[in-house]
Structure 1
Amino acid sequence: MPQSTARFATEAADRYLVQLTRHFAHRIPTAQQGRSGTCTFDMGTATLRADDTGLDIRIDSDAAEGLAQVRQTVESHLLRFAFREDPQPLHWS
């Protein structure tokens, strides 16, 4: 199963975790508990983990195309929510 990970360095990781899961909950199944959350898209799943220095994002999908779609969706929303931090594009591995 294709997988991709990225880290967004920020002291506001908890806030962005909650903001992302709540935002996506209007259209897809999400779950958030403590410093972890998931967003289950049709084409893949984003797993989010916050700590004091950043937000870790892992994307899992059955296909490379789905992986790219979920990655782009999560990244674009995160960068929009974090606009005050002048965020840069994420480095995915």
Structure 2
Amino acid sequence: MSVSVARVPTHSASKYLQQLAKHWSHKMEVTFSEEEGRIAFPNGAVLEMRADSETLDVALTVPDGEDVERMRGVVSSHLDRFAFREAPLTFDWAAV
């Protein structure tokens, strides 16, 4: 398993968390509230999000054998779509 984290500066973190969760809820296992979200991808990857007034914290767990960079790109590009007014968002991904 590979775990990547990023702290994304935005004052609209809760809004973007909820939009992404709703968007993917039709295809994946999703649970979310205004402050937290969890999305389980079909390939076994899991995205966990936590929103506060200034940042969206994301933690992406990717199973061995899956493309970590591709999964990071999927998450960041989708969030950028919802954040079009302030995109691109800053994702300083770090492996944990």
Matches within 5 A, 1:41-80: 41-43=41-43, 44-63=45-64, 65-80=66-81
- SS in structure 1 opposite 2:66? helix
How well do the aligned residues superpose, as a CA RMSD in angstroms?
1.5
Aligned to 1:12: 12
Q: Go from structure 1 to structure 2 and tell me whether the alpha carbon gap of 1:64 and 1:72 turns closer, same or farther (over 3 Å shift).
A: farther
Distance 2:63 2:24 in 1: 20
Structure 2: stretches of 5+ with no match in the other structure: none
Distance 1:56 1:22 in 2: 18
Q: Go from structure 1 to structure 2 and tell me whether the alpha carbon gap of 1:41 and 1:69 turns closer, same or farther (over 3 Å shift).
A: farther
Aligned to 2:86: 85
- Decide whether the 8 Å contact of 1:2 with 1:60 is kept in 2: yes
Select the structure that is richer in helix.
1
AA partner of residue 36 (structure 1): E
Structure 1: stretches of 5+ with no match in the other structure: none
- SS in structure 1 opposite 2:85? helix
Distance 1:74 1:21 in 2: 11
Aligned to 1:36: 36
Task: State the aligned residue count.
Answer: 93
